[in-house]
Amino acid sequence: MSRLLFLLICLCVPLSAALAQTEPVDSGFVEEIDSILAEYERMETQKKVEEVILSYNKTRLKKEMSFSTDGALYLVRGLLLSWTDHKFITHDARFEPKGDACNWRDYGVAGAPLVVNWALKAAGVKSRSKTERMLTANAMALGFSFGTTELLKHTINEGRPDQSNRHSFPSGHTSFAFVSATILSREYGYISPWITLGGYTTAACTELLRIQHNKHWMNDLYMGAGIGVMSTNLAYFLTDKIFGENGVNKPELRKRDVLRLMKFSEKPTGFSFLMGTEIGDRSIHFADARIKTGAAVSAGADLSWFVTHKVAVELMTRVADAQAKVYDTKSVFSGGHLNIYHFDIGGKFSYPFTLGQRFATRAFAGVRMVNGDTFTDGVKFYTISNETKFELGLGVTYECLDSNNYAWGFAIDYYHTFSSFMKNRYSINSSWKILF
């Protein structure tokens, strides 16, 4: 544009004196020149936008084909719980057997996202990878996951809660569930964030089922989840190295991606799914014994409605399953479960400190419900009754807008319950948010 303006100035200067002494410049000619300049500016702007979009798409593809470490946090949590909950895991208790160790119904839930993935492929829905490429990545992911899980099971020899065998660590069902969910997210997550959310919700249900069926401890689940995600990420990374850019549907910047970024920066009203751990006060005291729980598997959902671009009202729900054992007695008692439910409403202050990232603090109040259990050695009984109590809490959250239609992050919440047991608890969760 600078060159054109320079030429126009050069033409206009020597003619200016002559034009000043003759008739005024034709208005139609002026409009024509103005139209030419406007079109030139439009073309230059369009060219720059195209360059930005092309650069964005190349960056997206490069990032997508690099090795992702987003499953490492599960492995860290699993290792930490193996250390912190070691005494709880090895303490004697008789958990009720609920089916065999394999339990094919649990495998059915775990594999549902993988079935959906291939059903969409069979229906002709465009996926990230062409068929040959997807087969290769899926086969490697399942192979890495199964091989690693089985190797650790037969090396660690950790006993299951129901004492059915010593192949508890890590959870094969959970590993398979997270392989399935990660494959579905990588192949079809670009269509809708609900696809990714559905896959990982199914994986979380698999975790809850394995705990409820007395087949695993918490550390088994986290290690299984980490192995599943990391195995899938490694499989896709190696597949991308083998095939290069052949047979991959390249990501493209869409209008809705830009609108989503604007919405996230302005008022990120939406629905969040959370999955993680609840810890804190774990002991319930009786006159001659105490009942102690391990770290609890936790899942939940938050609904955030932003009144302004920084202030929101939230509805929060959580469900946690805590395994429990009787201590301070020579007898071996039955193991049990405490099911904990939180229902809260609160206010959040969310600050967008960079484009696509938010940090927030929140305060909330509500009720905690506990479904108790009875523990016995065949002669003596200890019972934790059901209760509903008022609670208050504080929390912090972090959210980062992802390229796959959702925002991911974490939430750390503190609960103080006006109860006679387990008054102070903490919930540490990973989160996936869908904007409305």
Same domain, 264 and 372: yes
In a domain, 186, yes or no: yes
Nearest to 371 by CA among 359, 354, 388: 388
User: CATH no. for residue 149?
Assistant: 1.20.144
State yes or no: pLDDT of 364 exceeds 90: yes
pLDDT digits 0-9 by tens, 105-137: 889 999 999 999 999 999 999 998 999 999 999
Q: Which two tokens stand for residue 23?
A: 């008739």
Mean of all residue pLDDT scores within the chain: 89
- Return the percentage of the chain with pLDDT > 70, whole number: 91
Contacts of 354 (CB under 8 A, 6+ apart): none
Q: How far apart are CA 136 and CA 260, in angstroms?
A: 33
In a domain, 72, yes or no: no
- What is the arithmetic mean of pLDDT over 379-405? 92
Q: How far apart are CA 86 and CA 14, in angstroms?
A: 91
Q: What is the pLDDT of residue 314?
A: 98
Nearest to 336 by CA among 161, 158, 106, 99: 161
Of 224, 252, 280, the residue at which a domain comes to its end is 252
Same domain, 131 and 235: yes
Q: Which two tokens stand for residue 433?
A: 């948010």
Of 252, 269, 293, the residue at which a domain comes to its end is 252
Phi first, then psi, for residue 123 (nearest 5°) are -80, -5
404 neighbors 188 (Cβ within 8 angstroms): no
Same domain, 262 and 360: yes
Nearest to 302 by CA among 376, 389, 362, 239: 362
Nearest to 244 by CA among 62, 57, 60: 62
Q: Regarding predicted confidence, which is higher, 21 or 105? A: 105
N residues, the chain = 436
Phi first, then psi, for residue 273 (nearest 5°) are -105, 135
Q: How many domains does the chain have?
A: 3
Q: Which of 2-16, 31-45, 98-112 has the lowest mean pLDDT?
A: 2-16
Q: How far apart are CA 143 and CA 362, in angstroms?
A: 43
Q: Determine whether 173 is exposed, middle or buried from the number of CB atoms within 10 Å of its CB (0-12, 13-18, 19+).
A: buried
DSSP conformation class of 406 = S
Same domain, 35 and 109: no
Q: How far apart are CA 417 and CA 389, in angstroms?
A: 7
Same domain, 95 and 211: yes
Q: Regarding predicted confidence, which is higher, 436 or 367? A: 367
Q: What is the pLDDT of residue 7?
A: 46
pLDDT digits 0-9 by tens, 167-185: 999 999 999 999 999 999 9
In a domain, 70, yes or no: no
User: Domain range holding 261?
Assistant: 255-436
Nearest to 221 by CA among 267, 279, 280, 176: 176
- What is the arithmetic mean of pLDDT over 274-296? 94
Q: How far apart are CA 306 and CA 399, in angstroms?
A: 15
Same domain, 245 and 106: yes
pTM: 0.85
65 neighbors 265 (Cβ within 8 angstroms): no
Q: Which two tokens stand for residue 192?
A: 């809708």
**What is the three-class DSSP state of 404?**
coil
State yes or no: pLDDT of 17 exceeds 60: no
Same domain, 82 and 224: yes
Name the pLDDT band for 23 (thresholds 50, 70, 90). Answer: low
Phi first, then psi, for residue 170 (nearest 5°) are -90, 180
**What is the three-class DSSP state of 177?**
helix
Q: What is the pLDDT of residue 433?
A: 92
State yes or no: pLDDT of 8 exceeds 70: no
pLDDT digits 0-9 by tens, 318-333: 999 999 999 999 899 9
Q: How far apart are CA 397 and CA 306, in angstroms?
A: 15
Same domain, 46 and 98: no
- Return the percentage of the chain with pLDDT > 90, whole number: 69
DSSP conformation class of 129 = B
CB atoms inside a 10 Å sphere around CB 414: 14
Same domain, 127 and 81: yes
State yes or no: pLDDT of 273 exceeds 90: yes
Same domain, 395 and 268: yes
Q: What is the pLDDT of residue 6?
A: 47
- What is the arithmetic mean of pLDDT over 247-273? 83
Same domain, 199 and 296: no
Same domain, 93 and 223: yes
In a domain, 61, yes or no: no
175 neighbors 232 (Cβ within 8 angstroms): no
Name the pLDDT band for 57 (thresholds 50, 70, 90). Answer: low
Residue type at position 260: R
